């Protein structure tokens, strides 16, 4: 998935994109942030945060946030890619989804509201978010304006949208977790949901999109 490396100024050893994002991404100014316009209706947000390097290249992270139950489901990141490659990736997404420009504060609040909501019911954000792509966001401090982001159904209860890709064991694990954390009768399950209908995060062969529910 990652195709850009640079050398360490001290050792000459290659710096991985993961390490570079963790240690350098926040030093670059935010270039633009995008989201699907209907995120607050479908409660699934496809987000992007792009930062621009002094040479004009882009570091961008994409996030899929489930505001109904799990929080950050998937994330993908590209470090120091040419601006034209960044535009090309956005154009591919636009073939099936509009991605409108929004202020960074909205992106930040959606992501962290989703994480907090998921954690209430025992679901952690995707591993790649914890390990890498969170560092393309600003630090979650009191300096960030707090916006009200509605999660769950109209009563604030979680909705588990079954993707159809889970094993029977995974489904039972999720339901048991919800019974333990939300309480029997305090959540709902919807069958026949396809994540492909809401997730436009591009997948490469080495991309791990597993949701951490441990």
Is 178 inside any structural domain? yes
Taking the C-alpha atoms of residue 175 and residue 88, their distance in angstroms, rounded to an integer, is 39
pLDDT at 193: 54
- Domain housing 134: 16-197
Is 41 inside any structural domain? yes
Taking the C-alpha atoms of residue 83 and residue 31, their distance in angstroms, rounded to an integer, is 11
Per-residue pLDDT for 141 more than 70? yes
Name the residue with higher pLDDT: 14 or 125: 125
Is 1 inside any structural domain? no
pLDDT at 45: 97
Per-residue pLDDT for 201 more than 90? no
pLDDT at 165: 82
Is 189 inside any structural domain? yes
Per-residue pLDDT for 203 more than 90? no
Q: What's the number of domains the chain is made of?
A: 1
Is 10 inside any structural domain? no
- What value, to the nearest 5°, has the Cα angle with vertex 131 and ends 187 and 19? 160
Q: What is the mean pLDDT of the chain?
A: 87
Taking the C-alpha atoms of residue 67 and residue 65, their distance in angstroms, rounded to an integer, is 6
Is 206 inside any structural domain? no
Is 209 inside any structural domain? no
Is 214 inside any structural domain? no
Can you say whether the dihedral through the CA atoms of 33, 34, 39, 43 is positive or negative? negative
């Amino acid at each position: 998935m990652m195709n850009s490396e640079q050398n360490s100024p001290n050792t000459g050893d290659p710096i991985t994109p993961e390490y570079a994002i963790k240690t350098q991404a926040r030093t670059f100014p935010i270039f633009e942030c995008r989201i699907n316009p209907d995120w607050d209706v479908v409660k699934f947000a496809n987000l992007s945060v792009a930062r621009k390097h002094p040479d004009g290249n882009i570091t961008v992270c994409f996030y899929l946030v489930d505001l109904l139950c799990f929080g950050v489901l998937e994330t993908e990141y590209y470090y120091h890619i040419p601006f034209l490659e960044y535009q090309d990736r956005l154009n591919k997404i636009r073939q099936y989804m509009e991605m409108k420009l929004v202020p960074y504060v909205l992106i930040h609040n959606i992501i962290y509201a989703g994480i907090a909501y998921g954690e209430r019911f025992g679901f952690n954000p995707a591993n790649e978010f914890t390990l890498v792509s969170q560092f393309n966001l600003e630090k979650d401090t009191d300096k960030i304006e707090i916006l009200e982001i509605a999660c769950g159904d109209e009563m604030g209860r979680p909705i588990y949208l079954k993707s159809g890709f889970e094993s029977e064991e995974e489904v039972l694990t999720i339901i048991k977790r919800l019974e333990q954390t939300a309480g029997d009768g305090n959540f709902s399950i919807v069958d026949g949901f396809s994540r492909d209908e809401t997730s436009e995060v591009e997948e490469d062969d080495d991309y791990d999109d597993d949701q951490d529910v441990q």
